[in-house]
Amino acid sequence: MSTINSIRKSVVFNVGGYVVSLLVAFLITPITIHTLGDTRYGAWALVAELIGYYGLLDLGIRGAVTYYVARHSALNQQEDIKEMLSSAFWFLSACGFIALLIGVGFTAGFPYLFKTEALDLAEVQQSLLIMTTLIAFSLPMNAFSGALVGKQRFDVVSGVEIVNRIITGLFTYIALKAGGGLVALALVQAAGRAISWGMTLAACRMILGGVFTRLLWLKKQRVRSLVTYGFQNALGNVALMVIYRLDIVVVAMFAGIDRVVFYSIASTLVLYASSLCSSISFVFTPRFTQLDSQREDDTLQKLYLFGTRATGMVVTGMVAGILVFGKDFIKLWLGASYVSGPLTDRSDVILTVLILASVPRMLQGISRQRLYGTGHVRFLMWLNIFEAIANLGLSILLVRHYGPLGVAFGTLLPLLVSQIVILPVYSSRVFKLPLWQLFSKGFSKPLIVGVLMVAINLACIYIAPPASWLIFFCDVFVAVILGGIVCIGIGLSREERQEYLTRFLKRPQAHAHS
């Protein structure tokens, strides 16, 4: 039970960071779009996506650091942690230098790759250079954040991210109101990230006993281990970039930068939904590594099934909300123009397709984290590559006829095959868990909860159509309360309900005695 309690605390911190990020995006995005305009915002979204690709030069080392720190911590091997972390830092520093060189070259070639007639080319290129430099310094810092995750200090990692989000959100608002453009936004991002680096290093000194960057601790065999694990992880990440982030580039190249905004709105909302699920499922990864290292197979299996069921209820409940409330949210948030007009350029329609595409992947989140945590990286690499190739090919084929909506369908079809058919069969075999048992103990209750939540949400908007923010949030509040009752009544076992009830009743007594 202590394992699950620890997981719950980590989830609280991660979800807290997610909520802050969501609130900042909710407040800042409309201001950014309306201040910059559709074309300039499309350029900013494109810059952000392109910069994200430089992060692939991490080569999966951050995830490898998390894996090895968790494993060495479970076995009390402190010297191994020092050598692993130092080796990762210097390797990623070299990767950062390469990223800087690539970024400079890409900035020079930007006007030859994209249509820039309606843009201030100098502004776009300057912001690209600033963000490129930011990535170059971010790569070696990934070693330290990965180590904190390996130590299961999600409270620290989330706290640092919360501070960064608040600072960047506040100064983004100030910069936009002062008339700043893309360059100002890039400088704000760089300043916020620099502050978070300082906090991360301070945390490493306290938790790990140092930052471990001495060249003396740089070992070839450590680099080899990091690269062996990380390279497979990196190839999988490249594929994920193609699946989830290259879509905007495809829209920009084949449909035009002015149409990026319609796709970007939908993909951003789906990204935040996926981030919530990742913030929960990622907490399990170092614990899976720890339990696997200590050969506690029974505890590992129980934690896996609990995690699958718990995150599954979050996924289906959230997806039900997006499907029903998504159109009204975009209309109130950004304006009716983004949910009207041709179906191929409506953010709400694109959102529906993308969120349905993401459901299977989000439901399989715990399975993927167990595979990562126990070293089964090669299979995930090939699965992601298969998805990416199919996704890119279909997106390029369909965008010519159906615009941004065609790109969304290009994402949907491969995911249905890989996440509903291939991954469950493989997980069942590796985890020694029959498919029927995986479905009955892991996915059946979340799916029931999702169907009931769709019915509840539809009833809410039928009784009180969300014509204003007040009504919208009242509808959501009622839906969340009723959904919580459904989750407790259907999603939790009798023993879990009794445990939560006992804790709830004991808490006031504990305060009374104190």
> pLDDT band at 510, cuts 50/70/90?
very low
pLDDT score, position 161: 85
Question: Quick count: other Cβ atoms within 10 Å of Cβ 162?
Answer: 19
pLDDT grade for 258, boundaries at 50, 70 and 90: confident
DSSP type of residue 216: G
CA–CA distance, 333 with 347 (Å, rounded to integer): 12
**pLDDT bucket at 129, cuts 50 / 70 / 90:** confident
Could you tell me the two tokens for 272?
Answer: 């935040």
Residue predicted with more confidence, 197 or 21: 197
Distance between CA 93 and CA 480 in Å, rounded? 45
Amino acid present at 470: L
- 52 pLDDT band, cuts 50/70/90, is low
Classify burial at 224, counting beta carbons within 10 Å of its beta carbon; exposed 0-12, middle 13-18, buried 19 or more: exposed
In the chain, how many H helices and how many E strands? 19, 0
Q: Which residue has the higher pLDDT, 409 or 294?
A: 409
Compute the average pLDDT of residues 29-40: 78
95 pLDDT above the threshold of 50 = yes
Please give the residue that has the higher pLDDT: either 56 or 140. Answer: 140
% of the chain with per-residue pLDDT over 70: 92
pLDDT of residue 514: 38
**35-44, 114-123, 298-307: the lowest-pLDDT one:** 114-123
Burial (CB < 10 A; 0-12, 13-18, 19+), residue 355, is buried
41 pLDDT exceeds 80?
no
Q: What is the pLDDT of residue 513?
A: 45
Q: Report which residue type is found at 252.
A: A
- Confidence band of 250 (pLDDT split at 50, 70, 90): confident
The whole-number pLDDT of residue 1 equals 46
Is the pTM higher than 0.75?
A: no
pLDDT, tens only, 288-321: 888 888 888 888 888 899 889 888 988 999 899 9
Residue 274, H or E segment: helix 260-281
Which pLDDT score, from 0 to 100, does residue 122 have?
78
In the Cβ-directed half-sphere of 249, how many Cα atoms lie within 13 Å?
A: 16
User: Burial of 255 by CB count in 10 Å (0-12 exposed, 13-18 middle, 19+ buried)?
Assistant: buried
Closest to 225 (Cα-Cα) out of 355, 413, 65, 49: 65
- In this predicted model, which residue has the larger pLDDT, 514 or 55? 55
Least confident of 38-47, 165-174, 315-324: 38-47
Q: Nearest-CA neighbor of 141 among 72, 202, 225, 77?
A: 202
Gap between the Cα atoms of 197 and 66, Å rounded: 17
Three-class DSSP labels, 143-170:
HHHHHHHHCCCHHHHHHHHHHHHHHHHH
Residue 178 CB coordination number (10 Å): 8
Residue predicted with more confidence, 278 or 471: 471
- Select the highest-mean-pLDDT range: 16-25, 36-45, 149-158, 497-506: 149-158
- For a pLDDT cut of 90, what percent of the chain falls above it? 13
Looking at every residue in the chain, the average pLDDT score rounds to 83
- Per-residue confidence (pLDDT) for residue 118, from 0 to 100: 63
pLDDT value, residue 2: 55
Instruction: Indicate if the pLDDT at residue 474 is higher than 90.
Output: yes
CA angle 95, 97, 101 (to 5 degrees): 115
HSE on the CB side for 465, CA within 13 Å?
A: 3
Output the pLDDT for position 55: 66
pLDDT value of position 463:
93
Average pLDDT of span 165-179 = 86
d(C-alpha 231, C-alpha 208), whole Å: 25
CB neighbours of residue 258 within 10 Å: 15
